[in-house]
Amino acid sequence: MLAWAVVRPFGWPEAVMAVPAAALAVATGAISLDHARAEAERLGPVVGFLAAVLVLAHFCDVEGLFQACGAWMARWAAGRPVRLLTAVFALASAITAVLSLDATIVLLTPVVFATAARTGVRPKPHVYACTHLSNTASLLLPVSNLTNLLAFAASGLSFTRFAALMALPWLAAIGAEYLVFRRFFARDLTAAAPVGRDTGEVPALPLFALVTVGCTLAGFVVASAFGVEPAWVAAAGALVLAGRALVRRQAGPLDVVRSAAPAFLAFVLALGVVVRAVVDNGLAEALGHVVPDGTGLPALLGIAALAALLANLINNLPAVLVLLPLAVPAGPGAVLAVLLGVNIGPNLTYAGSLATLLWRRIVHQHEHDVDLGEFTRLGLLAVPSSLAVAVVALWGSLQIL
């Protein structure tokens, strides 16, 4: 399934292989129908949240939010590649944290392509930054990533305490990534851009979209206090923006459905079922013998490294589903260490996260080549360094807070 998702032969979607594979797992008895149904029910809120955020982010784009951000980046960078990289890091980190990693992948990546073309700089460092930050910068809030939602529910932490504990690891990981990018893409970042390139006028920020996103973010905090699923809050924000677009005839009902990426949602559900079959047939028992005990710094480093490795083997969403039950007895620190591993680790391979698979599809749509060797070399530098400093920062946050 993951190989198909990476290669995507004939341009067919991931669900073409995933759905029959899940059906085959049930038909052959690798997983019982009851367990498959239970897994689908467990992933239901997560998939619902993903659909709502994809719709919300899409109609933020319809409102012009991402185009305005791109224009501001182009104006501020003024043709200087390093300044543009800094702007992309700042903007992608904020968008990932607030609107979730899918917004960074699906909507910011095309804007970064356009901004690089407008300013005349080489796009590669800035486009790669989108995929790395969609994973690394998703550590901050419970709603920044699907894996965060699962870890948040298992940790027993409040929304604000989760954010407080993850703030320092978030900053440390992003900082480490930035230093690696500056070194790895030094040649691209020192290439001179054409002199006098017109960056165009900067459009006004769409206030309606900004207010809707702000209210949605505040709604996540309030909903958490009352035990309401974040998916309902995200759905409300998506309904407001999609409804406005429908009323103004900027989109039709079919556009709303397409923006939710139903085929990709089917892939997520099917992937969960197949991995649950693997877990039921011995993976959970095997991992139980190797997960470190405790929340000391060595244990946290071991848990995060194991989570990163597993994310690249079976994808980060199944990895967090497997590891969370094993980490919960050790407390919130171990749960958050798992989250560091499954969020930062996927920057090593295409199959490590769903976000990277989406990013690769978008890059190909823009006729930009992604070299597997280069992607992996960058990951081998960025993942160990950013994961290590993030775990140390988490350990420090746990001691202080």
What pLDDT score does 271 carry? Answer: 86
What pLDDT score does 256 carry? Answer: 93
Radius of gyration for the chain, computed over Cα atoms and rounded to the nearest angstrom:
20
| Residue 188 within a domain | yes
Looking at the structure of the chain, the number of domains it has is 1
| Residue 13 within a domain | no
Exposure of 70 in the CB half-sphere (CA atoms within 13 A): 22
CA distances from 233 to 45, 104, 113, 212 (A): 12, 20, 31, 11
| Residue 386 within a domain | yes
| Residue 25 within a domain | no
**How far is Cα 339 from Cα 55, in angstroms, rounded to an integer?**
25
Give the chain's residues under pLDDT 70.
192-202, 366-369
What pLDDT score does 201 carry? Answer: 66
| Residue 12 within a domain | no
What pLDDT score does 287 carry? Answer: 83
What pLDDT score does 110 carry? Answer: 85
| Residue 16 within a domain | no
What pLDDT score does 135 carry? Answer: 94
| Residue 291 within a domain | yes
Instruction: Give the tens place of pLDDT for each residue, 271-289.
Output: 889 988 988 888 878 888 8
Domain of residue 357, residue span: 33-400
